[in-house]
Structure 1
Amino acid sequence: MTKEVRIKIKSKFVSKYRNGFPLILQDAIINQKDLKDEGTIVSLTDEKNSFIAKGYYGRQNKGYGWVLSKNEHEKFDKGFFKNRLLTAINRREPFFADKETTAFRIFNGEGDGIGGITIDYFDGFYLINWYSKGIYHFKQPIIEALQESVDFKGIYQKKRFDVKGQYVEDDDFVMGERGEFPIIVKENGVNFAVYLNEGAMVGVFLDQREVRKTIRDKYASGKNMLNTFSYTGAFSVFAALGGATRTTSVDLANRSKPKTIEQFSLNGIDYEAQDIIVEDVFQYFKYAGRKNLKFDLVVLDPPSFARSKKLVFSAEKDYTKLLKETIAITEDQGVIVASTNSSAFGMGKFKGFIKKAFEETNTQYKILEEFSLPEDFRTIREYKEGNYLKVVFVKKLG
């Protein structure tokens, strides 16, 4: 039997939760000491003990759990989860019908009504991401609900709920048939190799789909392109297919090179005609500066937080400095695709970083277009932090 606890909310937060804010903040709770076991069902009340909302206790880096319902008598059983799943799946009908794209998100946490969990689709295989012990407590009814809601080849999972919010190693297979990896999926007609059995990252970040397509269709032709923090080279593949004269992919991880070669090869691109470099991006910028290398198109998509042997990078503190180094190696009239997945700040502040970087380098610029999360990464207006992706195409005018 799942425990239930009433937690009192400080008066200054009450209207926030009555208006639909979904994240249970540590600072909002008066009686934190009553929260002991993750997975406990919690009823939020005001200081006069009037009911506000109902959810679960589960710690992740964002907070202490998520609100799931405004119904005081709601049961978080298979029926509840199945209802939320079916609603989300029905919203993605156009994606399932698109033969050119066979990898997308079918459930996006609080955007689809259940914070702490996401589910991605990879050509018949489903991948569940659990972000706290709290939501993992409901594993059985959620998996049963998914099993009853979709036709699937196989279901995999990733646990991302150790104390640092990182990936927990475990057997990722849940049920159905085990995949023969790599699974080859399509994104706007481009092939990607996906591995659901190799740790936290599967081979492609689905939230950048529209950005990659835009690079291919509008910006790559005839350009010399640099892709920093390149992971498996997805931006480079799209640029090459869009007619880039050459791509350079730079990433610190040793596995980035064979993974990038694989993605190029899957799409009939001669990887030997491209540059694939395993190096700390921060060091590569220094090298490019010394050699006076210049690029027509640069993708700058660093992690929100990164630690190398020589430095610690935080997008909130260091993006402006990194962008200044990018400006220095971008040709006049060249385009920088400035991107961040940090939820610590919004688009306005991000554009402020861009403005500051260009001002401090005495360089004129023009914003060409901007992107946030694609449609399958559903968000809600009551939780702006959920729309974490910010991408701005910036032309360097000189």
Structure 2
Amino acid sequence: MMKTAKRKIAVLLTGVMHDCLRCVQSLQFLLEDWEVDYFAVLREEFATPDAMAELKAVIPAVEFIIVPQAETENALKPFANFSITPTAVMMWHEIAYAAGRMGKLKQYDLVLRSRYDIFFHHQYLPEINGNASDVWLPGQMSWSGANDMLCVAAPEAFTAYAQTFQRLQYIVAVEEINVPEAIMARSLALASLREQPLDVRFILYRGTLHEQFSDSQLCVMADRDPNQSAYKFDDSEQTAQLRAEYAASVTAMTELEAYFPLHETWHAGFNFYPVEIDERDGSHFRWLGMHGHINRPLNRHATGISFQINFSVPGWNLSDLTVLVDGVPVTLDVTSVDELGRPQVSGRFTRPPSRRPWSKIGFSSKRQVVPSAIGENPHDHRALSIAISDFKVLEAVKPAAVAGKHAR
């Protein structure tokens, strides 16, 4: 069978390169299906050898675009008497400056621009199909207009998006708009660009605050309350107590969920119930009612799934369970039983999943029991079937990364 060639995408990284390595790794996973060329923009005053070497260690083939300090100073001068922040001016100047130095953008299927400090949810880039007037922007953190931290577009639309700097003086001076998200929305309108929703979930990564949390916890945060990550940790009124309170709130929101994330922002009726702890060994499980689903990024190496059944209701057996991946049933088998009598179940895919940004693994049970109705637990009125844990995606061995331009 002939292999399908990967589509090409150019990635433009902008902003200040603080705590970026963990974020870059999440971006690399997001684009695992793509042939990627990375362009890193740095203002001259931040383009230190150590900073560049640090990024190059993660992305060996990254190309740096250095913005001369004199260019930055000239870009700021027309805005000296306006209330727009210098940071916003420098951001749009960087994007415009870099877009003109990225080579022939038409060789790419898409162009993605991202800040260095965005930590992406464990997902793949969604399917994107549009025309030369479409730009894809995420909905979160766009309080006053349109999100100005991320953009995906075809080359022609991206070029128009990157020319926001050329429209900036008119927007600020004539239309008297200076809020960053409102500037973004107005720029799109002036360029006759059409905003499309980008289903990408993320947080703004702050090493001082977030390095103590696992990747799974950060993904839960990106689902449940990504706006918490916009917390300003470097304000003058910042205190150790406020940092501790922030950490406690994130821990309370993410600690249990991270052991068995559904990658969902809400739980519908008869979905998986909240995480519980198996007192026999401390494992974390979820009860299933009639139907439930889990979203996972499944790549072309995925061959199946496995999970453990911690508990089941009286009379339940494996033939009562149907599992579908992107609508295709998988054949389930018990592969082992542990010392506590818990079956390990596996299911093999008949074809590689290809849904983006996640594949949907659906569970459906023919048999449910309400514990309070059969006298097992008078306080539990849920309709339950099985409790599962240790959910894993099975993968074939990936080929070793090939050294070269696109090695990661």
TM-score by length of 2: 0.25
Bigger relative contact order, structure 1 or 2, given CA contacts below 8 A and separation 6+? Answer: 2
User: Greater CA radius of gyration, 1 or 2?
Assistant: 2
TM-score by length of 1: 0.25
